[in-house]
Amino acid sequence: MWKFIKMRKIYTIYLPMALFVFVVGFTACKEEKNVPKTLAELILDAPVIVSDSAFFTVEVSKDGNNPISKRGICWNYAPNPTIDNNATLDGTGIGTFKRNIGFFDPGTVYVRAYAMNDVGIAYSNEVSFATSGIAMAPISFTQKAVLEYTTCAGCTFCPDGEVTAENMVIKYGKDRLFPVAMHNLYQGPDSMATTESKAFSTTYNQGNPSGFVNRTTTKCESRTAWDGQAETVLLQDAKCGLAIDASKVNGSVYSIKVRTGIGAKALEAGTYYVIAYIVDKEMSGKGLGWDQTNYYNSVPGHKYYQKGNPAKGFLHENVFVKSLKTMNGTLMTQDKMTSRAIGEYDFTLNMTGKVTSDIDVIAMIYYKKTGGSYVENVQRVKLGERTVFD
């Protein structure tokens, strides 16, 4: 009788405690799994204006319980700028970062910082200031890259060139890597091939799709090499930068101004050109020359799996349209290659009867030398807008 009571006492005392411990532990785990995810939190300090550049400090204090994949600052000549206007890419995660921008047009500039996680894009407080124009280039610039690759609507493997380019943009950011598809006629009709894109393919092509980043090799290479080239280029310190004003239009004629800026050190002695052209972000049509031959129609897991072969109504991305003046570029004079120098290059683009909503302007500084030509830096802006040195 006594043993039973003793056992009963032990049972009565300890079982609820065990249950209590279990419930607390379970509740704690449940709460940890359901921590709410929110937008990041960040603050943009007032800029420090030095000569013709603005220096910013940004503190990203909270990530919203969700890792920050991109951060930077954005600006415009109108309030409430977003990353769709002008934006930099300044790493990931929480913490403090700094950024300088050179402004080249008189007016009031509005700036916000941003931080992106899976929930969305958080913007900081807005700061603004007046600028009377820029007389000298900034000391430093963001290194950017252009991926030029050859392709053809009749090329069965070319859809994967487009996919490779898309994945690289996701990895490096749309504000730092700019793909351009140079169409040719190597595998049959292609309604997007132009005299200039065919000439580019003849000069650099090593089979479709092949390409290079900032023209760092003498010939285009297989798409397996593109990512490594981009990583190498984008890790470099930029010696120079570009700004583009494509906002001025009279009727259907755009007056486009490309500015070059040289950093703290003069460019290496040599021959440099400014090359500018336009790109159509999305093109499609019906029939031969538009439908894309598609090897990947039978490759499970590929973006174009079961999209048809040929894939009808295929959306061709970042299609080279035409150069502004010439693909050989405009020669930079010696005085525009010195430290803090700014060069200006004017172009005219007649878009009468053409859709302008998907057109971008790309400009680059091309260093041409025997056995080692390459693009020093590149900039891209939507037609009808402008971007400054960054």
Each of the 390 residues of the chain gets a pLDDT tens digit; together they read 333 333 344 444 444 444 444 444 444 444 456 789 999 999 999 988 876 678 899 999 999 999 999 999 988 889 999 988 878 778 899 999 988 777 667 788 899 999 999 999 999 999 998 887 767 888 889 999 999 999 999 999 999 999 999 999 999 999 999 999 999 999 999 999 999 999 999 999 999 999 999 999 999 999 999 999 999 999 999 999 999 989 888 999 999 999 999 999 999 999 999 999 999 999 999 999 999 999 999 999 999 999 999 999 999 999 999 999 999 999 999 999 999 999 999 999 999 999 888 999 999 999 999 888 999 999 999 998 888 888
Q: Give the C-alpha separation, 163 to 221, whole Å.
A: 16
One DSSP character per residue, 195-235 reads: HHHHHHHHHH-SSSSEEEETT-SSS-EEGGGHHHHHHHHHT
The identity of residue 293, as a single letter, is T
How much of the chain is in helix, strand and coil states, percent to nearest 5? Answer: 20, 40, 40
Q: What is the pLDDT of residue 51?
A: 61
Token pair 């040929």: residue? 310
One DSSP character per residue, 4-63 reads: HHHHHHHHHHHHHHHHHHHHHHHHHHHHHHTPPP---EEEEPPPEEETTEEEEEEEEEE-
389 forms beta bridges with: 102
Q: What is the pLDDT of residue 28?
A: 45
Q: What is the pLDDT of residue 24?
A: 42
Every domain range in the chain assigned CATH 2.60.40.10: 41-131, 145-387
Q: Give the C-alpha separation, 126 to 110, whole Å.
A: 7
Question: In Å, how far are 19, 309, 371 from 30, measured between CA atoms?
Answer: 16, 49, 63
b/e code 318-353 from CB counts within 10 Å (16+ = b): bbbbebbbebebbebeeebbeebbbbebebebebee
Q: Give the C-alpha separation, 82 to 40, whole Å.
A: 15
Q: What kind of architecture, by CATH, is found in domain 145-387?
A: Sandwich (2.60)
> With left for phi above 0 and alpha for psi between -120 and 50, is residue 109 left, alpha or beta?
beta
Pairing relationship of beta strands 145-151 and 95-102 according to DSSP bridges: unpaired
pTM of the predicted structure, to 2 decimals: 0.73
b/e code 137-147 from CB counts within 10 Å (16+ = b): bbbbbbbbbbb
How is residue 299 written in tokens? 């490759």
Q: What is the pLDDT of residue 104?
A: 63
- Tell me the CATH number for domain 41-131: 2.60.40.10
Q: Please say whether the beta carbons of 73 and 46 come within 8 A.
A: no
